């Protein structure tokens, strides 16, 4: 599985994560998917309603609206991104719980310090197992 994402969109997500530090940021990835290849067309910021350094939640109505609006344009909600301030980009126990519901989405996770993004990784849940998704930056 692969996530194609423009470097300009990666920069948007990086900026969001750094602005939100020391809290987690959360946002949505809109695009297309075909045979395990996900392509980001648009990055949409959401609010972390928990304002927490170790957890995030997005308003379900907001997520639904973004999902519907994407569908109206022939696109899909393909992923969620969030950040891990002062931690690595890994699937936490809490993330894994949510992935049981949202596992058909790509989970893009950023590990960062106050100054910079340390790592970016993407995951999906397939058959109850967490799998790596290869990140492919495109121009
Ligand atoms: Zn997390």
pLDDT tens digit string along 76-93?
Answer: 999 999 999 999 999 999
Query: Mean pLDDT throughout 103-124?
Result: 95
Say how many Å lie between the CA of residue 53 and the centre of ligand 1: 10
Report the distance separating Cα 49 and Cα 110, nearest Å. 18
Handedness of CA 84, 42, 28, 99 (dihedral sign): negative
- Can you tell me whether residue 134 is helix, strand or coil? strand
Report the percentage of the chain scoring pLDDT > 70: 100
Q: How do beta strands 129-138 and 106-112 pair? A: unpaired
Average pLDDT, the chain: 96
pLDDT at 104: 85
Residues 6+ apart with CB under 8 A from 90: 84, 109, 111, 121
- Asked if 24 is an active-site residue, the reply is yes
The residue from 24, 42, 115, 136 that is catalytic is 24
Of the chain, the percentage scoring pLDDT greater than 90 comes to 94
**Residue 49 confidence (pLDDT):** 96
Predicted confidence at residue 101, as pLDDT, reads: 84
Neighbours of 131 (CB within 10 A): 12
What is the dihedral angle through the alpha carbons of 19, 77, 50, 21, rounded to the nearest 10 degrees? Answer: -20
- Level-2 CATH architecture, domain 2-138: 3-Layer(aba) Sandwich (3.40)
CA–CA separation, 3 and 122 (whole Å): 8
> Chain-centre distance of CA 42, in angstroms?
12
CA dist., res. 97 & res. 30, Å (int)? 22
Distance 65 CA to ligand 1 centre (A): 23
**Residue 79 CA, ligand 1 centroid: distance in Å:** 14
Ligand 1 center–CA 89 separation, angstroms: 8
């Amino acid at each position: 599985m692969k996530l194609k994402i423009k470097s300009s969109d990666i920069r948007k997500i990086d900026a969001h994560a750094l602005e939100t530090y020391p809290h987690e940021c959360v946002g949505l990835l809109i695009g297309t998917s075909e045979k395990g290849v996900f392509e980001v067309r648009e990055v949409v910021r959401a609010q972390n309603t928990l304002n927490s350094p170790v957890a995030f939640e997005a308003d379900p109505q907001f997520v639904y609206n973004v999902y519907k609006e994407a569908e109206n344009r022939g696109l899909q909600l393909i992923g969620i991104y969030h950040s891990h301030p002062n931690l690595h980009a890994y699937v936490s126990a809490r993330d894994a719980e949510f992935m049981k519901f949202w596992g058909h989405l790509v989970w893009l996770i950023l590990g960062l310090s106050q100054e910079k993004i340390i790592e970016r990784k993407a995951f999906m849940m397939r058959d109850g197992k967490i799998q790596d998704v290869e990140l492919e930056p495109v121009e």
